[in-house]
Structure 1
Amino acid sequence: MKKVKRLASLILAFVLAFVLAVPAFAATVNNETGHEYKAYQIFTGTQASDDVTGALAVTGWGSGVDGATFLAELKTANADLYGNANSAAEVAAVLSENNSNSEVANEFAKIAEKHIKKDQGIDIAADAELTAGYYLFVDQTTTSGKDDVKGLSLLQVTQKGDIELKSKNDKPSVEKKVKENLKNVSGNKDDRIPDYELSTGYNDVADYNIGDDVPFELIGTLPQNLDLYNTYKYIFHDTLSAGLTYKEGSLKVYVVDTEKDTENDDNVIPESAYKLTVANQKIEVAFDNIKSVDGVAAGKKIVVKYEATLNKNAEIGLDGNKNEVYLQYSNNPNNGGEGDTGETPKDEVLVFTYELDVTKIDGATAGDNPKKLAGAKFVLKNSEGKYVQVDADGKVTGWVDTEPNPENQEDAAGILTSNDDGLFKVIGLDAGTYYLKEVVAPAGYNILKDEIELKVLATTKNDQNWTSGNASDALTALKIKVGTGDETDGDVNSGIVSATVQNNKGGTLPETGGIGTTIFYLTGTILVLGAVVLLITKKRMENAEK
């Protein structure tokens, strides 16, 4: 009797972790899993008493299995265990003696499925009544292309109570995150530092300059029932938008307990353990059998980190630059992990960038219809003291440390020149603070003496909670602040913020140390010398008269 009870414990504990509520004579099986099952009787049994917690005594092979061929394969597959077993009861005794070994239970269920009598399956799509015995419940749900997990369950059906199927089959999940390049991602966008805590740095939404390298993170979980599989396929399918270019050589893969553990390169998985494919904006990291990787275990995480450069094809404003990932994984431990796979739902992140439009006007005509000034030349500096470089279309191509010189043709990419409409554009800017300096004024106008501070202010969903999939929920406001003036609205849809800069005509008074001051000094000196000469001459004349 003790061995029989141990068999019941083994069956309940190990075969795909189904939970058994105590059943009844002609027991009703309640299926609330959303899957369809067929039940096959493997062992017949009798109950020693009316005690509903009592286990069944195995009396023979059940109606749902070909006992002779089943026993023969058990002996062939594992002669050490089943070599001396010649009956259903003796097989049950072997299982009982190995009730702490999940591999024995898993092997038994998989071999049993191969010898079930298909015509003896009892549908458990809704409710069904079963007589006493031990049954193999086989999941009939089609899983190809879905995120389901197929499973086997061996349960005892006694003569009291009901069985309620509650599947605890586990499956992996995946998230994608993008690192924001700001110190305080939910507040002041001017405080920048090169790196910070992963827990606060990676989010669902970020904004960057065109040309910046954007860090991404893919976080996949490993299922709790990993040990039920002989092999386990595990493939990240990541897709970049047209506005992002994968940075060659930047990808690393880690096996960790938490994402923060990726700071330790001891957790890096060697490149030889997976296959990396990058083509047509898609990144695939494929493990044919992730169980063969050192450190991999149920409940661990697989983290993929890489960088992609925001390029000139980046979408400005809404709808942003969307990127997504899904995970393909083994979902049929019945076959040992070979063959069938499922897919997780896709997870998305967004990267935004913006456009600055500056219009140069005649200050005397400021108003509804100002005069636009062509030929004004500017340079634009960010809060780190670097100067923007743009292409012929005004799209950002990079940043340099030295202020561009309008007289130097080699610096032309850093000179922003107003066109006939008084306009120049800088396309592909991150949110942040910038400084605009006029280096050449239009002919006949005074050059601006001081830099103009420009703040591009974007309100983005910088946390872990952007789940709607709607870009308008990720970027909710866009503003600009010019100097000490008030904030004014930009256009969220186009991603454009605009500023107007005035020039005025008129003479410029000489400054201290300029040539004008020298003229004053020279004129004064001449006047003083003239006065001295007149005084001396007058004295000499007076003396001559005497």
Structure 2
Amino acid sequence: MKKLWKKLLAVTTAVMMAITLLPAMANAESTITNPQAKGSLTINKTTDKEDADGKYPGLGGAEFTIYKVASLEPGTNGKYKAWKLTTNFARLSLTPDTLGSISTADLEAKANEAKKIAADLTGQSQTTADGTGETRKGEATFSNLELGYYLVVETKTPSKYVASKPFFVSIPETVTTADGSTWNYNVSVSPKNQGIPDTDKVPDKKTVGVGDEVTYTITGPTVPNYDEAYNETTLKYEITDTLSTGLTFAKDKADLKVYTTDVNSPLVEDTDYTFEYDSTANKITISLISSKIRDLKGEAIHVKYTVTVNENAVVGSDGTINKAEVEYTNNPDGTTDGSKKGVKVYSFKIKINKKKDNGSPLKGATFGLYRDAACADKIEEATSGDDGVINFGDASKLAAGTYYLKELQAPSGYSALTSVVKVVISTATPNDNTIYDFKYSMNEGDENNVGEDGVISLDITNNKGFNLPATGGMGTYLFTIGGLVIMAGAALLLIASKKRRA
């Protein structure tokens, strides 16, 4: 009996060191005073991120199923004489006498073997589970358990985590105290899950106009460390990126790169990953080749590519959105989890409300919108209609920046502006694409907030001017007569001057 428990101690300690799951089992010589006692198993799960108090909060939503693999056969005087595999797990290649010599890797393999047996029996509609429980506030408890050796399998995994490995636990366990070894019937374990970080996505611009190029960099979650419990043919790590209709993707121009740490040392298409572009959905898909996924464990996968903004770009706070999603295997049963990140780039319009000096709309004023103060680089030209409105940006869309408005022609009876109008669109949060926070100013005046519609609305007034007389007709006669009078007066003054000198 002493030899048996020493073997159990060695096995359990090895598992604890390898996967930090099982409490150590001492070489128990203690007599079980109540061979018919029941035990319990409490599974504690925590997040992998500390809270403000430096603690790891409980992780809910993890489901565990336990299976009794072996029973302890009672002997005499309250002692146990042998392990015995249960009927359901009789074909498990595990014997009690070999437990002490099994390596950690072999023990993990045995746990995976036991898990497959449980799955096979479940598929044959044979009841094998001795309990299923989901963590509430990080804890799941199985009570009133018969003494024995149990397999613990995580059968449901919370989002953004990868399942813990299956493991064995003994009930009861022995605990060494100052007074010697005692039995603990209420066992507590803390299996660890791999936390998966969120997907990140960053454009190199926050605001755009039609024709601009935008380079996006997607950073996917760290590739999990998948053990042999995962079937290589079902392993999945896939990045999909759905582009707005306002963005045009062309692979030959996108300079697409998939890499781990160095953009200049990319992964190889069709060797490390596959690429697909769905033009109907405007979606790109990057899938790691399943046989390569284990080789990339612990690596974050980056995707970098360039697209062009087109006339379908969205003006205002809705923005031109681009959504990336990463889907990866998070449980050996083949289930997957996902992590999403959507980012926006923003565009604007400039609206001129052309008015008379009495405030009513003025029709027929023609303006040009320029990128430079010299008004040489024209973006658009438009004329006010009956409502006095001129819109710039309907076709081109405008990024944040400095623009100049020049009145090219005033309506009849009005004077054109003698100077250009300077308009500046700026952002208070240039590095944060999640915040819509923009300002504008006119002619170096006070800054105003750009509205949610993304339209910079400017009131510009024209004052009445002087009309030159029409060519021909009475106008011509008046100018002619006036000229003759002036010439006659000059001649008379010249004659009078000569007479005085004579």
* TM-score of the two chains, using structure 2 as the length reference: 0.69
* Correspondent of 1:89 among 92, 97, 102: 97
Determine helix, strand or coil for the equivalent of 1:319.
Answer: coil
* Correspondent of 2:143 among 106, 110, 128: 128
Question: For 1:53-92, what aligned pairs fall within 5 Å after superposition?
Answer: 59-63=82-86, 65-67=88-90, 69-71=91-93, 87-90=95-98, 92=99
Aligned residue type for 2:268:
P
**Following the alignment from structure 1 to structure 2, what is the Cα–Cα distance between the partners of residues 141 and 224?**
17
The 8 Å contact of residues 41 and 64 in structure 1, kept in 2 or not, is answered as no
- 1:382 offset after TM fit, Å? 5.7
Structure 1 position 342 matched with structure 2 position 357? no
- 1:301 offset after TM fit, Å? 0.5
Determine helix, strand or coil for the equivalent of 2:194.
Answer: coil
In structure 2, relative to structure 1, the CA distance for the partners of 1:540 and 1:139 (3 Å cut) is closer
In structure 2, relative to structure 1, the CA distance for the partners of 1:179 and 1:119 (3 Å cut) is closer
**Following the alignment from structure 1 to structure 2, what is the Cα–Cα distance between the partners of residues 141 and 293?**
22
Question: Structure 1: where are the runs of 5+ without partners?
Answer: 48-56, 75-86, 182-205, 388-401, 405-412, 467-473, 510-522
The 8 Å contact of residues 479 and 497 in structure 1, kept in 2 or not, is answered as no
The 8 Å contact of residues 323 and 349 in structure 1, kept in 2 or not, is answered as yes
Question: Structure 2: where are the runs of 5+ without partners?
Answer: 26-31, 46-60, 75-79, 134-140, 175-182, 469-482
**Following the alignment from structure 1 to structure 2, what is the Cα–Cα distance between the partners of residues 62 and 223?**
37
- 1:123 offset after TM fit, Å? 0.7
**Following the alignment from structure 1 to structure 2, what is the Cα–Cα distance between the partners of residues 6 and 38?**
25
Matched with 1:431 is 400
Matched with 1:243 is 246
Determine helix, strand or coil for the equivalent of 1:7.
Answer: helix
Matched with 1:163 is 187
- 1:13 offset after TM fit, Å? 4.0
Matched with 1:54 is none
* Correspondent of 1:27 among 18, 39, 47: 39
Structure 1 position 154 matched with structure 2 position 165? no
**Following the alignment from structure 1 to structure 2, what is the Cα–Cα distance between the partners of residues 171 and 326?**
17
Q: Is the helix fraction higher in 1 or 2?
A: 1
**Following the alignment from structure 1 to structure 2, what is the Cα–Cα distance between the partners of residues 46 and 419?**
97
Matched with 1:378 is 368
The 8 Å contact of residues 480 and 497 in structure 1, kept in 2 or not, is answered as yes
The 8 Å contact of residues 251 and 304 in structure 1, kept in 2 or not, is answered as no
Alignment RMSD, CA only? 4.1
- The count of residues paired between Structure 1 and Structure 2 equals 415
**Following the alignment from structure 2 to structure 1, what is the Cα–Cα distance between the partners of residues 293 and 445?**
62
**Following the alignment from structure 1 to structure 2, what is the Cα–Cα distance between the partners of residues 146 and 220?**
12
Matched with 1:172 is 196
In structure 2, relative to structure 1, the CA distance for the partners of 1:490 and 1:225 (3 Å cut) is closer
- 1:4 offset after TM fit, Å? 4.9
- 1:357 offset after TM fit, Å? 0.3
* TM-score of the two chains, using structure 1 as the length reference: 0.64
Matched with 2:65 is 38
- 1:453 offset after TM fit, Å? 0.9
Question: For 1:279-358, what aligned pairs fall within 5 Å after superposition?
Answer: 279=278, 280-289=281-290, 291=292, 296-298=296-298, 300-333=299-332, 340-358=334-352
The 8 Å contact of residues 247 and 307 in structure 2, kept in 1 or not, is answered as yes
The 8 Å contact of residues 43 and 133 in structure 1, kept in 2 or not, is answered as yes
The 8 Å contact of residues 446 and 508 in structure 1, kept in 2 or not, is answered as no
In structure 2, relative to structure 1, the CA distance for the partners of 1:172 and 1:36 (3 Å cut) is closer
**Following the alignment from structure 2 to structure 1, what is the Cα–Cα distance between the partners of residues 8 and 42?**
25
Matched with 2:478 is none
Matched with 2:152 is 137
- 1:302 offset after TM fit, Å? 0.5
Matched with 1:9 is 13
- 1:3 offset after TM fit, Å? 6.0
- Please list the CA deviations of residues 231-269 of structure 1 after superposition, one character each: whole Å capped at 9, or x if unmatched: 33101122223333334342634443xxxx44x412x11
Structure 1 position 499 matched with structure 2 position 458? yes
Structure 1 position 419 matched with structure 2 position 385? yes
**Following the alignment from structure 2 to structure 1, what is the Cα–Cα distance between the partners of residues 17 and 372?**
62
In structure 2, relative to structure 1, the CA distance for the partners of 1:230 and 1:253 (3 Å cut) is farther
Matched with 1:79 is none
The 8 Å contact of residues 62 and 133 in structure 1, kept in 2 or not, is answered as no
- 1:538 offset after TM fit, Å? 5.1
Matched with 1:185 is none
The 8 Å contact of residues 226 and 294 in structure 2, kept in 1 or not, is answered as no
**Following the alignment from structure 1 to structure 2, what is the Cα–Cα distance between the partners of residues 4 and 150?**
22
Aligned residue type for 1:95:
I
- 1:482 offset after TM fit, Å? 1.0
The 8 Å contact of residues 320 and 352 in structure 1, kept in 2 or not, is answered as yes
Aligned residue type for 1:308:
V
Matched with 2:213 is 213
Determine helix, strand or coil for the equivalent of 1:70.
Answer: coil
* Correspondent of 2:409 among 429, 437, 440: 440
Aligned residue type for 1:215:
T
**Following the alignment from structure 2 to structure 1, what is the Cα–Cα distance between the partners of residues 297 and 165?**
20
**Following the alignment from structure 2 to structure 1, what is the Cα–Cα distance between the partners of residues 89 and 245?**
58
- Please list the CA deviations of residues 522-543 of structure 1 after superposition, one character each: whole Å capped at 9, or x if unmatched: x9xxx9xx99x969x959985x
The 8 Å contact of residues 73 and 83 in structure 2, kept in 1 or not, is answered as no
The 8 Å contact of residues 40 and 63 in structure 1, kept in 2 or not, is answered as no
In structure 2, relative to structure 1, the CA distance for the partners of 1:376 and 1:289 (3 Å cut) is same
In structure 2, relative to structure 1, the CA distance for the partners of 1:58 and 1:106 (3 Å cut) is farther
